[in-house]
Structure 1
Amino acid sequence: MLTKAVPEQQDWNALTDEDFRAIFRDWVDQNCPAHLRFMRKQRPVFDEVAEWYHALARKGWLSPVWPQEHGGMGLNAAKHIVYVEEWARLGCPRIPDHGIGLTGPLLIEFGTEAQKDFFLPRILSGEHVWCQGYSEPNAGSDLASLRTSAVRDGDEFVINGQKIWTTLAHCANWILLLARTDKEAAKPQNGITVLLVDLTSPGVVVRTIPNLREEADFCEVFFDNVRVPAKNVVGEVNAGWALAKAVLGHERIFLGAPSRPEYALTRLEMLAEDRGAFDDPAFRSRFAKLRLDLYDLGSAFERFAKVLREGGTLGADVSVLKLFCTELYQRITEETLAVAGEEARYYDDLPLGDGGHVDAMNLFLDARAPAIFGGSNEIQRNILAKAVLGLPSR
């Protein structure tokens, strides 16, 4: 319950977390369209969620961590965690968010005034929809080995190369691109530059890659002598590696947020009750372990969140959160298929006796991806081994 009335525009960080949570939840309940809640599709394209995107923009709540002078909410880490938690709990659809979460913060911190004036309003209006051009066929987890090149030619750079696993590139019109501008640099990280590239430029080809659920949310993007104005370089030439890492900030914690396994465990419980699985002592034991693991994940998440709330910085040990979360999510969805039995082969939602449904196979397939994106779980284990345990590379 709110302890005081709040004006439309204000310092949200001055509120208690409970008051901010109540305000955000109430507004979402009234403004997020019902047909977009808990969407089966995890990464909808812009047109599918445009009404929600524009509703957030009109409210001024589209960009939670941008400063208010740039049209954001100016949330600190603690309030941002509340924002994300309630977003997931209320089933808000994911919006194409590379402009909000990546390009915008990068420009706010490192961009020129001209870049901020041009690009930031167009992100908020939805005129520019962004994607992230980082990974390449031979440069995924080892991103520093990227080979897409950008060669200076007067007031332009000429780009050649390929990006892959570029999420939602087929519905984007701009890409935040990492390209190699110095092939002779002593360290490969030192020869990389960040460029803002218009995907409607001649020489750009985007091809979709269907995922396990036959949704086209991944793409490969080809650049064939694509000319980009030099004014679209962000920061300094050859200094893009530091910029690419800088925008991650405290958002790394959200790769281990318990929202996905929480939702999956709820669906498992619904299916188990409907199918009588709780009559089996062995299942009750497995379910209890999953629920206890979820409690442990929530406690671990809260431990890292507390660091941010107190103004601290997350260390390499936050990688354990992603490992715990993604592997728990997979175990829950595997158990859901076991309860579904022969029906597990169906991709369509499984009907329940009370008129509800459970998206068993959809969740199982969705659980495969989080262990790969955002730095694969193998990479997270290497980080923990080297940076936390101090183990040698060989």
Structure 2
Amino acid sequence: MAEPQQDWNTLPDEDFRRIFRDWVDANCPAELRFMRKQRPLFDEVAEWYHALANKGWLAPTWPQAYGGMGLNPAKHMIYVEEWARLGCPRIPDHGIGLTGPLLLQYGTDEQRAYYLPRILSGEHVWCQGYSEPNSGSDLASLKTSAVRDGDEFVVNGQKIWTTLAHCANWILLLVRTRKVEGKRQEGISVLLVDLRTPGVRIRPIPNLREEADFCEVFFDDVPVPAGNLVGEVDQGWTLAKSVLGHERIFLGAPTRPEYALARLETLAEATGKFEDKAFLSRYARHRLDVYDLGSAFERFAKVLRAGGDLEADVSVLKIFNTELYQRITEEMLEIAGEAARFEDDLDAGDTKVDAMNLFLDSRAPAIFGGSNEIQRNILAKAVLRLPG
């Protein structure tokens, strides 16, 4: 049972920051701080998940009536900033950040009453079924079909790059319910699918670090109750976009480059690289870029804090962030040379630096959440008004 809540939005920002930081710092297990694994499995962070749920702090933006904190954008930004600053592990958050908000906005009373408490309890662990082979960033070209058959939809198709599907038991699934000749965004619907249903098959995809963050999910004549449709049939494109509305600003948060720069500094100190003028010049450029990224992030965050909506130019954050992260981790490998083996961290004085782990981790963010090539297209069309 979650603790009684207060109206956090009435507190001054710094008071809320202090209260949140102090509790998290005291209650997040030390062994989970600054984990090597960016997307741990549910079982690996279940203790932290349940601690947040019991405190009533698991779902920051959900209304308090549904078990959330009811944070406005300004307080939510503080929540995210302190979470990252304290090195808290990422929890399997598709239920909290995607399914929950979708049901709060578009679901029925029955759907909210059934699914939301089970997300908070951890009984339902969700993943997101959007991308398909040959249909990743071009999401509207999806082909997974759902055909109505009485009181059910029958689903056939395949999803790919489905994060943590192998430790989830439900999937928020984007399907095509009607073939269209014109605009591809038409004829798409959203279904809530139990992954334990016969006909569902999940195959993990190991990443560069030999971890199974991603999966393929196959659907062969999978029956889904018609009551699991969210919103109106064939109107799912609007729903699909709504749950991704603020994703790019959080993908642009400077926490990854900041952490990587700190690790670079530790490694450079231990190896005497700060005596090398060429390295010092490159390091200064990285540090200035991190400062610039922080300033850019703050500019967009102010829009959210004021209750505004982000425009297409927020795409620049993701590009800047992910490519800076890559440049910093590449610098770490320059210093480490052949010592940067996959299996071993590097000795750096009285600590160790996970140079290769960070380098490999930096490859994926430029792809997920809409690849950087897609983000550049968005900027070209929506901001620079260049012809398509």
TM-score, shorter chain, exceeding 0.5: yes
Moved >4 Å (runs of 4+) = none
Deviations 1:79-116 (A, max 9, x none): 11111111111000000000000000000000000000
Partner in structure 1 of residue 235 of structure 2: 239
Name the aligned partner's letter for residue 202 of structure 2.
V
Q: Is structure 2 residue 19 aligned with structure 1 residue 23?
A: yes
Question: What is the distance in 1 between the residues matched to 2:333 and 2:48?
Answer: 32
Q: How does 1:1-394 map to 2 (within 5 A)?
A: 9-184=5-180, 186-354=182-350, 356-393=351-388
1:185 Cα deviation from its structure 2 partner? 5.3
CA contact (8 A) 1:178 1:240 kept: yes
Name the aligned partner's letter for residue 104 of structure 1.
G
SS in 2 for 1:81: helix
SS in 2 for 1:189: coil
1:345 Cα deviation from its structure 2 partner? 3.0
SS in 2 for 1:225: strand
1:229 Cα deviation from its structure 2 partner? 0.2
Question: What is the distance in 1 between the residues matched to 2:64 and 2:5?
Answer: 9
1:309 Cα deviation from its structure 2 partner? 1.2
Question: What is the distance in 2 between the residues matched to 1:297 and 1:113?
Answer: 42
Name the aligned partner's letter for residue 373 of structure 1.
F
334-343 or 151-160: bigger deviation? 334-343
Question: What is the distance in 2 between the residues matched to 1:185 and 1:113?
Answer: 34
Question: What is the distance in 1 between the residues matched to 2:181 and 2:7?
Answer: 45
CA contact (8 A) 2:171 2:195 kept: yes
CA contact (8 A) 1:77 1:250 kept: no
Name the aligned partner's letter for residue 369 of structure 1.
A
Name the aligned partner's letter for residue 384 of structure 2.
L
Question: What is the distance in 2 between the residues matched to 1:185 and 1:159?
Answer: 21
Aligned CA distance change for structure 1 residues 225 and 79 (closer, same or farther; 3 Å): same
Name the aligned partner's letter for residue 130 of structure 1.
W
Question: What is the distance in 1 between the residues matched to 2:213 and 2:170?
Answer: 16
What is the TM-score of this pair, normalised by structure 1? Answer: 0.97
Question: What is the distance in 1 between the residues matched to 2:4 and 2:224?
Answer: 41
CA contact (8 A) 2:161 2:214 kept: yes
Question: What is the distance in 2 between the residues matched to 1:238 and 1:52?
Answer: 38
What is the TM-score of this pair, normalised by structure 2? Answer: 0.98
Question: What is the distance in 1 between the residues matched to 2:248 and 2:176?
Answer: 25
Say how many residue pairs are matched. 386
Q: CA RMSD in A?
A: 1.0
Question: What is the distance in 1 between the residues matched to 2:122 and 2:138?
Answer: 32
Name the aligned partner's letter for residue 377 of structure 1.
N
Name the aligned partner's letter for residue 216 of structure 1.
A
Name the aligned partner's letter for residue 218 of structure 1.
F
Question: What is the distance in 2 between the residues matched to 1:327 and 1:233?
Answer: 38
SS in 2 for 1:56: helix
Question: What is the distance in 2 between the residues matched to 1:170 and 1:25?
Answer: 32
1:347 Cα deviation from its structure 2 partner? 3.2
Question: What is the distance in 1 between the residues matched to 2:223 and 2:346?
Answer: 50
Name the aligned partner's letter for residue 284 of structure 1.
L
Question: What is the distance in 1 between the residues matched to 2:343 and 2:261?
Answer: 19
1:162 Cα deviation from its structure 2 partner? 0.3
SS in 2 for 1:120: helix
Name the aligned partner's letter for residue 367 of structure 1.
S
CA contact (8 A) 2:63 2:69 kept: yes
Give identity over the alignment, percent. Answer: 79
Name the aligned partner's letter for residue 361 of structure 2.
D
Question: What is the distance in 1 between the residues matched to 2:251 and 2:90?
Answer: 14
Deviations 1:23-64 (A, max 9, x none): 111001110000000001111100000000000000000000
Deviations 1:261-289 (A, max 9, x none): 00000000000000111010111111011
SS in 1 for 2:340: helix
Question: What is the distance in 2 between the residues matched to 1:251 and 1:222?
Answer: 26
Name the aligned partner's letter for residue 22 of structure 1.
R
1:251 Cα deviation from its structure 2 partner? 3.6
1:352 Cα deviation from its structure 2 partner? 2.0
Segments of 5+ residues of structure 1 without an aligned counterpart are: 1-6
